[in-house]
Amino acid sequence: MNSIASGTVLLTGPTSGLGKAATLAMANRSAPERPNLLLVGRPGQALTEVAEAARAAGATVREIGCDLARLADVRSAGQKVKELLETGAVGPLQGLVANAGVSVVDTHNASADGYELTFAVNYLAHTQLIGDLLDSLAAPARIVLLGSNTYYQNIFRRLLRVAPADWRDPIELAQPTASDVPTTLKRGWTAYSNSKLAILYYAHELQRRAPTGINVAVFEPGFMPGTGLGRNQSPSLQRIGRLMQRIPGISSPTRSGHTLASIALDDRWAHLRDGAFVVKDQERDVKPFANDRHREARLWDATDELLNSAA
């Protein structure tokens, strides 16, 4: 039995797509390889249903209702996890999978704390949760963040009109688009790609500051046409996406969910650390600009500022 599966794994965004598939992939493992699960997601029927499905498979599951667009909710969720750990209601926390994410076209949209919604949910909410729980993780433990290759441009993404990151100071990235500036699909994709570049920078800096035995990795599941993140594309591109689902080998929530569960649990991936980037099921180097000690240190400090301002 591997050392991670004997403990508890927390996963955000478990109610649909990749998160649901990863939750059920963990729950359907045989007993020695099945962790206890803490499912952090928006309260409601979808969270209840995935928790019940995981329990039916034999997993011990706790649901923690949390709107990731509200940092107060995120802090409350972290406190609930600490209480469960301190009382012995769940086993040691040895995995944290920061899976939840959104892609919002209208960058005028703000979180409850006034931050641009994509940056708030994809990045800030997870840094709050990880920061609150970092000292509660029991080594050996793994933190797996969800990344995306959209942080840089290639021919395929150019054809699909997926804009790359356009990095600026994090305080600026956190601000919604001014009301007098029109919204565009490009702005929405740029915000998404910026949030994913932030995750790479954060993962590198987090590893430098994490306690010994806590390993940090980033997982890119690959292009998954037809999932919720594609809903902001034009109708014609959505139709193309649905057709692409039939291509053999294309990523799907089921296939990628099993890989995400494996990265969180299996000995095969125990060596991953320092924000190692896994694309589908292979480790890949990131682009040189995605390793930047200056940007990473600035992001860490700016994140503290943004989170403290919302406290």
pLDDT at 159: 84
Query: What tokens does 201 get?
Result: 């920078």
Q: Hey, what CATH topology would domain 8-310 get?
A: Rossmann fold (3.40.50)
Q: How far apart are CA 28 and CA 85, in angstroms?
A: 24
pLDDT tens-digit map of 167-202: 999 999 999 999 999 989 999 999 999 999 999 999
**Domain segments of the chain: what residues?**
8-310
pLDDT at 207: 98
pLDDT at 160: 80
Query: What tokens does 295 get?
Result: 């940007």
pLDDT at 240: 52
Q: Pairing between strand 93-98 and 8-12?
A: parallel
Among 141, 139, 136, 160, residue whose Cα is nearest residue 149: 160
3-state secondary structure of 140: strand
pLDDT at 231: 47
Q: How far apart are CA 141 and CA 212, in angstroms?
A: 10
pLDDT at 224: 72
Which residues of the chain, if any, have pLDDT below 50? 1, 230-233
pLDDT at 232: 46
Strands lying side by side in the sheet with 93-98: 61-65, 36-41, 8-12, 93-98, 137-146, 214-220, 276-279, 282-284
pLDDT tens-digit map of 200-228: 999 999 999 999 999 999 999 998 765 55
Q: Report the length, in residues, of the chain.
A: 311
